[in-house]
Amino acid sequence: MYRKEFINDFSELGEELRKGLTKGSFGPDMEEAVKSSETNNSLFTKNMILSAINNICQKYLNKEKLSGWLSRYPSVDKPLLRKCGILMAGNIPLVGFHDFLTVMAAGCSAEIKLSSKDPFLMPAISRLLSYINSNWKERISFTDIIDKNIDCLLLTGGDQALSFYRKVYNGIPSLERTSRSSLAILTGKETEKELSLLAEDIFLYYGMGCRSVSYMLLPRGYNIGKLAEALRPMVYQLYSEDFRQAYRYQKALLLSLGEEFIDAGFFILRQADSFPPPLGVVNYSYYTEEREIENITGNNRNLLQCIVGNYLPFCYIPFGYAQKPALEDYADGKDSLNFLMNFM
């Protein structure tokens, strides 16, 4: 049966990638893809690429997790003669892998348009999968322009990009996800460990992901200097020259404008209620009453991907988990597998 083959092969893919993570190097093809990605994109530093691969292995490519995920959907007994186009973003390494996994789980073929920012990793992983089972090679293709005769489309982007693709693929069923960012709500009672985990939520992938915390709500009177110190150790994982240049530029810009900010040495903390801020900047604002939190989260519902912290009932992602989505954590809360199952 198709589902059994899917679970077995993708679990084996996870095992192969885990071996590379454990050894510190992959096979020649995957290793070359990692090196090419670093050269192509300054924000795709090796530690960030390996972090993305590790989360895919831990959260997605596991027999029990795959079986549990698929048990809630109708069974797919054989491959379908349907082709799904995937327009992959390139803001963080392998950000489109979940869409790819979902299309394969639904029994469709995938026609993938890669981002110029991330053109090497996904093809290398697909070749590894095809090495495990050559049947997958026939179901995966990469293209510069997705055919207008596809059966459906998965895409993520800003308003301008989505408007463009709606016109190009007019009439084709599509699942659209918008550009979003994430918020953390602090109470002032966080432990050092929790603040250390918050640093990962903010800076992993240089803050470029839709699940990256770029804005914080702090209780009035919060010691912002202490927060900056707690986040500072993350500097040792951030060695992208693009990120450093962005930080220096934003610092110079704010100085020239006479705006107040806190220079944390490798990023800017700025009191502002807009998000997402520019690269190298983390915004924050204060709250006094719960009503203020309700207003901010309610008014920005369509701009938020995650709300991180311990403040119930607003927060639903614990510190340190913003960048570790599970199979069920669909972007924008839109169930892509359900979309594909119903469409078929």
Per-residue pLDDT at 81 exceeds 90: no
**308, 201 in Cβ contact below 8 A?**
yes
Check: CB of residue 267 under 8 Å from CB of residue 282: yes
pTM, entire model: 0.95
Q: Which CATH superfamily is domain 181-309 in?
A: Aldehyde Dehydrogenase; Chain A, domain 2 (3.40.309.10)
Torsion of CA 52, 58, 59, 62, to 10 degrees: 130
Which pLDDT belongs to residue 344? Answer: 56
Contacts for 64 with CB less than 8 Å, ≥ 6 apart: none
Q: DSSP code of 310?
A: S
- 252-288 tens-digit pLDDT: 999 999 999 999 999 999 999 888 899 999 999 999 9
**104-160 residue pLDDT tens:** 999 999 999 999 999 999 999 999 999 999 999 999 999 999 999 999 999 988 888
The H or E element that residue 102 is part of is: helix 97-105
List, in order, residues 6 or more apart from 178 with CB less than 8 Å away: 156, 157, 158, 159, 162, 302, 332
Do 181-309 and 2-179 fall under one CATH topology? no
CA angle 293, 296, 298 (to 5 degrees): 100
Backbone phi and psi for residue 335, each to the nearest 5 degrees, phi listed first: -75, 100
Q: Tell me, what's the pLDDT at 319?
A: 97
pLDDT of residue 343: 66
Q: What topology is assigned to 2-179 in CATH?
A: Aldehyde Dehydrogenase; Chain A, domain 1 (3.40.605)
Instruction: Output DSSP code: residue 115.
Output: -
Give residue limits of the domains in the chain: 2-179, 181-309
